[in-house]
Amino acid sequence: MNPLSLRRMLLFAAAFLFGVFSAAASPRKVERLDEGWTLYPRYDVNKQPARTEVTVPHTWNTEDVFNGMGRYLRSAFVYERNLPLPKSDGQRRFLHFQAVNSVADIFINGRRVGSHYGGYTAFCFEITDYLQEGDNRLEVNVSNAYRQDVAPLAGDFNIYGGITRPVTLITTGADCISPLDRASAGVYVHQDAVSRERAELTVETVLSLKHRGLVAEAVLLDAAGREVLRAGAPAEGERVRIPLTLDRPHLWDGRRDPYLYTVRVDLKDGDRVVDSMSETTGLRYFRVDPEQGFFLNGEHLDLHGVCRHEEAEGTASLLNEEALRRDARLIYEMGATGVRFVHYPHSRYDVAQYDSLGIVVWYELSLAGPGGYGSPGYVADPALERNTMANLEEMILQNYNSPAICFWSLCNELSFKFDAPDRFLRELHLRAKALDPQRLTTLAICYDQDRFQHITDIIGWNKYFGWYGSDGKGIGAFMDNAHALAGHQPIGLCEYGASASILHHSFQESRNNYVHFEEYQCKVHEYNWEEMASRPFVWCKFIWQWADTPSSIRDEGDRRGMNDKGVVTYDRNTCKDAYYFYQANWSEAPMLYIAHRRYTLRSQAVTDVKVYSNQKQAVLYLNGRKAATGRNDGLGRIVFAGVRLQEGDNAVRVVSGALSDECVWNLDSTRTEEQVTASERLDGAVD
């Protein structure tokens, strides 16, 4: 990773964690409520139910994510803690939850404050009038039980229960920038017109006022914290809009230059600042052409990357800052220019990593279908539609100022099996465009093109040629046909790939449940990328998926309850061979990697040695002797064909300039291919 980009990411992430609702000049106080919680079953009828001390973020599913076949706990629990608060003296207090999965009911001193439906967006309640002097009992009733009115109804991923992201207590004066506008920061930077010559902005601020005569000031700060512009307006009504015009703006230009400004809004009574909020943003403009793909700031950008869940080993879906930074770093080093956040809104902390690295984000609503499985992912239920529409509004407003997010995805793999979703999807599209006219709407489909076409601005396909019973060489023809049928609507490829275990090795094809050869995953990816690299009209190319991810419906590969299509392992300790194939094609940093290195026990004396590299040529050494020189084929591969191994250990070493890589393969020609093929199954154990 570029050291400057890494430093920028770390500094921004550290500032972001506690800065979403605070500013140095403001009397506003923000406290994380991580400690002091107890947990007990919601429907325990004992007079004194057994309690467990927990720290938030928390989920009750960390121990059973690998049970498989639907066997993980979907239930209801109560989180409880004390809030020792002094006399308010005119101060206001708000509880802000970054996410509670999936339904939350909030009580203060036994009085209901409010409820929230949907497990992946933030919500906020003012609790000022519910508090008493001294100790106050906060109860959060949480359920991730199956229900028909909260999305996602089903999916090829686990829906973990709990307070999965941080909770904060916000204290303000009587007059404040409101945290109640769908739990957003209350400050929106509208990029009305942006070019390399000029940026016309409107800073919209949501207010909650008890007094008159206040003024709102918007201050634009550059990346070094220096003031660039300042303008003010009377703070009247619920919203104030302040125009700003900047000549020769420094654009957010993807990986090349992910430049970030800060917009601070000060609410002032005379010279006294009574509240203040800061939001980081980047100025950019973009479009998608049906023939030429994605353009950022007027220049074509090949948008390629990965699909990823917000999940980490040991903490499941909890907000794990270290894990999110690690993923972002590895994805950056892979050379990705884009990332698709699936299949629900990810945390703002997660988004911030990609803002600072210059990686474009596809951001997705939790209206997810399970593709070819039994559930359609949608039922025509008024409560489901009402809650999903609210989640859409939260998703957009809470992430409005992110420069990385260019696309709002409305759904994934819904079907027409029971109730047709097209009418509701059109309503979601219209609402998204009303809230945010600048960004493009999209959706991910795997069938029924005629029914989903032209609902959103652009669309993406999920197609697994080479894996789910389809010819591995059909993706190019399919995309050509889809392109012809789409007319003027741009189409992308937002999922493709194959399963792989780092324990399973053979050059044979593998599509059965329990044997997922790493070598075959490489073959599928190589062919798919070769076809997609030559088709610029495919506006996005996103691999399924970034990392192996638990999915309780699966019983396959080397571990029960795991979708192992990732290009890195669930623990992130091992990048699979396919990761390096894409790094060879996407990254500008010099790299060299011997593929199929974990296929250590061989039965065939003659083999090809394949190297993934972005170098023009390399030299192969076998057992210390120069064996061959090879050239790059233009797709990140250097192949040394027909190399003869000796019985026993073989030291394989490849060199290109200052780069080198090596491994050891053992030949036992007395064995058959089937005898040496590894197919170990862990049955739920963590490797």
**Hey, which residues are catalytic here?**
413
The whole-angstrom separation of Cα 587 and Cα 596 is: 20
CB contact set of 45 (below 8 Å; sequence gap of 6+): none
Contacts of 154 (CB under 8 A, 6+ apart): 368, 369, 370, 373, 375, 377
Q: Which two tokens stand for residue 488?
A: 């003027």
Q: Which two tokens stand for residue 248?
A: 């020769």
Cis peptide before 152 (omega within 30 of 0): yes
Q: How many CB atoms lie within 10 A of CB 418?
A: 12
- Kindly report each contact of residues 225-233 with a partner whose C-beta sits within 8 Å and lies 24 or more positions away, as own/partner: 225/262, 228/261
CA separation for the pair 164, 168 (Å, rounded): 13
- The H-or-E segment that residue 482 falls in is helix 475-486
Spatial distance between the Cα atoms of 315 and 228, rounded to a whole number of angstroms: 42
Evaluate the CA torsion angle 415, 419, 423, 429 in order and state its sign: negative
Helix (H) or strand (E) holding 53: strand 52-54
User: What is the length of the chain?
Assistant: 687
Whether 607 contacts 671, CB under 8 Å: no
Burial class for 110, CB neighbours closer than 10 Å (0-12, 13-18, 19+): exposed
**Distance from C-alpha of 277 to C-alpha of 26, rounded to nearest angstrom:** 8
Tokens 């070019």 sit on residue: 195
